[in-house]
Amino acid sequence: MAIAAQTPDILGERQSGQDVRTQNVVACQAVANIVKSSLGPVGLDKMLVDDIGDVTITNDGATILKMLEVEHPAAKVLVELAELQDREVGDGTTSVVIVAAELLKRANDLVKNKIHPTSIISGYRLAMREACKYVDEKLSAKVEKLGKDSLVNCAKTSMSSKLIASDSDFFANLVVDAVQAVKTTTARGEIKYPIKGINILKAHGKSAKDSYLLNGYALNTGRAAQGMPTRVAPARIACLDFNLQKTKMQMGVQVLVSDPRELEKIRQREADITKERIEKLLKAGANVILTTKGIDDMALKYFVEAGAIAVRRVRKEDLRHVAKATGATAVSTFADMEGEETFDQSFLGYADEVVEERISDDDVILVKGTKTTSAVSVILRGANDFMLDEMERSLHDALCIVKRTLESNVVVAGGGAVEAALSVFLENLATTLGSREQLAIAEFAEALLIIPKVLAVNAAKDATELVAKLRAYHHTAQTKANKQHLSSMGLDLSKGTVRNNLEAGVIEPAMSKVKIIQFATEAAITILRIDDMIKLIKDERENEE
């Protein structure tokens, strides 16, 4: 075996140099081409069917890529990129993938023209820094000037490419109200908008316009028994994470009985343990009990007698949110340090009232007037599951965008305005440099134009002409001192013209654009660095030995 280890032949395929690069770029282009047609206000949807036949209809970039089974390692980088954008900003997932793929393609062309990848990488990095600086200094507008309308407009811009675009006025206001309802101030005095506190419930029936905002956190389950009250106020809430059923012995614990008459006592004791637990809960003052596990009929009887609401099989996630909003502590066991079972009052959360309401055909439990953070729920109505799922994804994006706008207070014009401005700016910058990076920066500038191009193509407009007009405006804005207002010129895709998008209300948070440029560049650089790929094959001989 010692000799075999020294031989240079590797068990597997090895590709290096240009082959690998071309292969990676082709794989990334393929991924980008899938999401390309879903960009923009007239983007089309994708229908994804998984291996068991579940159908998802969506045009949210992150969702599409998550559902795809991507084999190629370089293409996986793009999928992770979309997820990162989704986590950080919440919207712009499609754009970031398209930009990254375009940057890669152009970098690959440069490498073919005998420019070293290292020069391209440093050029891209420089272009990225300059671009982000330029967005912050020149292109962004403060939200204070624009007022509440600007938040609604941000939400509308985010929804424009989604299924609910036709009702975007209605939903944008709904989203802005929801985000402003969960406003909290941290101990340090920062104002935060935890959109996790907005629960989205989907209910069949009626039309999308019948969706509404509920003040309170809604749980998608009803009371555990009919005899319980439908309303408890003020509510003291216990959040549990264990079974309230007749206590069975744990696995592996044996009870040896010599006298059959003792059996009944054992059964009785098992029932009493649960009874004692419930009495401890009620003695502490709890009148609303939420548990992630089950509650059996015997236990329900005690709750009904005490006039408390008990809810079983609550989702873990919901339990955490309720606990956070009401100041409760989620309890997974009653055992304390001494081995006794106790339930302290401090574990309870407080809310003004807990009510059960009927929404369409389902019962929901609403937790209203919570103690620490205010929680709201959006009840979505729609014709079928696909519609509701896609509405939820669209609202998630819009909620994230409004949150980012409120927290950063800076917006930029949408509709390809930023990309066109950056393209003109970077091109001028490239001509001032006398180093190798010049070509890379010029290509970076060209690559950014992919966004307005794709927007126009998806809208069935003449992309070449529109992009040329757009660039002319931005060139004027950057060269003439008194024409600065032209820097927010973007595309109007319904009419196929160029207009001032800040005034037209097509705006996005500046943070979203900056992150798109940063993430796309980083991903492109990561893939561009690869010049050798070794696929190892399992050695059959070892197994035989």
Among this protein's residues, is 169 annotated catalytic? no
Across the strands, what pairs with 497? Answer: 492
Catalytic residue among 58, 94, 157, 326: 94
Q: Please give the DSSP secondary-structure letter assigned to residue 319.
A: H
Element (H, E) at 213: strand 212-215
Count the neighbouring beta carbons within 10 Å of the beta carbon of residue 310. Answer: 26
Q: Would you put residue 316 in left (φ > 0), alpha (ψ -120 to 50) or beta?
A: alpha
CA angle 345, 350, 352 (to 5 degrees): 145
Catalytic residue among 93, 292, 326, 521: 93
Q: Which of 504, 440, 500 is nearest to 473 (CA)?
A: 500
Tokens for 504? 């037209």
Contacts of 384 (CB under 8 A, 6+ apart): 204
Q: How far is it, in rounded angstroms, from Cα 438 to Cα 300?
A: 74
Q: How far is it, in rounded angstroms, from Cα 245 to Cα 248?
A: 8
Q: How far is it, in rounded angstroms, from Cα 499 to Cα 512?
A: 21
Q: How far is it, in rounded angstroms, from Cα 367 to Cα 344?
A: 22
Three-state DSSP class for 400?
helix
Among this protein's residues, is 274 annotated catalytic? no
Q: How far is it, in rounded angstroms, from Cα 64 to Cα 44?
A: 12
Q: How far is it, in rounded angstroms, from Cα 506 to Cα 149?
A: 11
Q: How far is CA 227 from the centre of its chain?
A: 40
Q: How far is it, in rounded angstroms, from Cα 311 to Cα 69?
A: 38
Among this protein's residues, is 521 annotated catalytic? no
Q: How far is it, in rounded angstroms, from Cα 111 to Cα 120?
A: 8
Q: How far is it, in rounded angstroms, from Cα 93 to Cα 188?
A: 32
What angle, 0 to 180 degrees and rounded to 10, lies between the N-to-C axes of helices 417-432 and 450-458?
150
Q: Please give the DSSP secondary-structure letter assigned to residue 380.
A: E
Catalytic residue among 397, 405, 492, 521: 397
Rounded to 5 degrees, φ, ψ at 142 are -70, 145
Q: Are strands 235-240 and 288-291 parallel, antiparallel or unpaired?
A: parallel
Q: Are strands 141-142 and 217-219 parallel, antiparallel or unpaired?
A: unpaired
Residue given tokens 């369409």 in the structure block: 360
Q: What is the SS3 string spanning 153-169?
A: HHHHHHHCCCHHHHHHH
CA distances from 298 to 246, 278, 280, 294 (A): 8, 11, 16, 12
Catalytic residue among 60, 86, 91, 492: 60
Among this protein's residues, is 93 annotated catalytic? yes
Three-state DSSP class for 500?
strand
| Catalytic site positions | 60, 93-94, 397
